[in-house]
Amino acid sequence: MSTASTASFSSRLAQVKPSPSVAAKARVDALRAAGRDIIDFTIGEPDFPTPEHIVQAGARALAEGATRYTGSAGTPALRRAICAKLQRENRLDFQPGQVIVGTGAKQLIFNAFAATLNEDDEVVIPAPYWVSYPDMVLLNGGTPVIAPSSAATGFKLTPEALRQALTPRSRWLVLNTPNNPSGAIYTESELGALCEVLRGFPAVRVMTDEIYEHFAYGGARHLSPLNVAPDLADRTLVVNGVSKAYAMTGWRVGYAAGPLDLIRAMTLLASQTTTCASAVGQAAAVTALEGPQECVAQARDLFEQRRDRMVSGLATIPGVSCSSPDGAFYLFPSVQGLLGKTTPQGRLLAGDPDVAAYLLDAVGVASVDGSSYGMPGYLRLSFATSAAEIDRGCAAIAQAVAALR
């Protein structure tokens, strides 16, 4: 005879939502499995395979025995390659001891918060933000403080908004440039102005998530805060990885570079959680960083063409307003002009989640609502898909909008 369990779960877990982007992708997969024709604009990864020379490097590493644990901070070869990359591409000087490799950039962001946050410490997160930042703060006992922006500021944090968000309990500012979901890229002067504010708050660390750095279009140029404020090096963590630039999302290799004491603390956590990133993934990442880089330039050019195509496709749809982003591979169009309208089935579109649901149900276009990124009234649409799908999806959105009353 069994008895009902009275075991409980962490109270922190109750504050955490499922990742909206992961949930949207799962919904797409389920609908496709059920036979629906879905145009997927939720994709947060390149739609092409890992370049062949990187795949072959992984295969060679397996054949040569790269199947065992590595050090918790990563292999010496990869940490050296990361230091060389940061110097070559970003003009940043780090030693291998200041670098940690993890199972994706997400794990390293989590570990950085876990290593530094005490109960009710605050983390300033500019909106719109990547969906996981606030929940990772909550899981580690911190309090996310959302600093607003708007289309008028280019979806970027201003010095005034940063100053208003900072308090004596602030421990981190999270910057994501190029930004997911807006594609915004901070200029040298914009970063300089934010860093000037931070100089007045010496207890605040800076986390700069640069995972989309290679996808900057037109005259836009990616810069790290350390390029304009090297005096903040003792409290800045640079987070990056090989997932986006080299189409290696499933290899799960990210890295971070920062002050030695922080990297040591994060390595301690890794030793008691994941142990290390996969040995074969790390070997392939060395080739990605040290090998030919034409694949990265080709991906950037392709994404720029797709960006322009999708912006043009949305431009003629009444009620949808979309600027052309400087970076990443997402559009963040306003759908505020659709709110208050009614679907052919009589459902009121009261908010952006309703718009996203309507597009999926009516015409099979999958997107992610802007509310999940801290900015209601918008949708995130990924252009990491084929030109044919972009054209088909924009036409379907136009059809769905035309049917509204």
143-169: average pLDDT: 97
| pLDDT value of residue 2 | 63
Query: Buried b vs exposed e over 283-307: b needs ≥16 C-beta within 10 Å?
Result: bbbbbbbbbebebbeebbebbbebb
Q: How confident is the model at residue 366 (pLDDT cuts 50, 70, 90)?
A: very high
| 216 and 93 within one domain | yes
Task: Verify that 95 and 213 share a domain, yes or no.
Answer: yes
Q: Within this chain, do residues 117 and 266 fall inside the same structural domain, yes or no?
A: yes
- On whether both 154 and 282 belong to a single domain, the answer is yes
> What is the band of 1 on the pLDDT scale with cuts at 50, 70, 90?
low
Tens digit of each residue's pLDDT (9 = 90 or more) over 287-314: 999 999 999 999 999 999 999 999 999 9
355 and 249 inside one domain? no
Model pLDDT for residues 201-224, shown as the tens digit of each residue: 999 999 999 999 999 999 999 999
Whether 61 is covered by a domain: the verdict is no
- Based on the fold, state whether residues 193 and 270 are members of the same structural domain: yes
Position with higher pLDDT, 170 vs 23: 170
344: pLDDT strictly greater than 60: yes
CATH value at residue 76: 3.40.640.10
Tell me what pLDDT residue 76 has.
98
- Domain limit, last residue, from 290, 318, 345: 290
What is the domain extent for residue 339?
A: 13-49+295-402
The answer to whether residues 278 and 300 belong to one domain is: no
Asked whether residue 152 carries a pLDDT value surpassing 90, the answer given is yes
Specify whether 251 is located in the same domain as 367. no
**pLDDT digit string (tens) for 91-103?**
999 999 999 999 9
What are φ and ψ of residue 193, in 5° steps? -65, -40
Please check whether residue 63 lies inside any domain of the structure.
no
Domain final residue, candidates 241, 267, 290: 290
**Which tens digits make up the pLDDT trace of 162-206?**
999 999 999 999 999 999 999 999 999 999 999 999 999 999 999
- Structurally, the chain folds into a number of domains equal to 2
Mean pLDDT of the chain: 96
- Name the pLDDT band for 22 (thresholds 50, 70, 90): confident
Q: Is 55 domain-assigned?
A: no
CATH of the domain at 352: 3.90.1150.10
* Residues 349, 214 within the same domain: no
Residues 301 and 262 in one domain: no
Over range 143-171, report the average pLDDT: 97
pTM: 0.95
Note whether 27 and 146 are same-domain residues: no
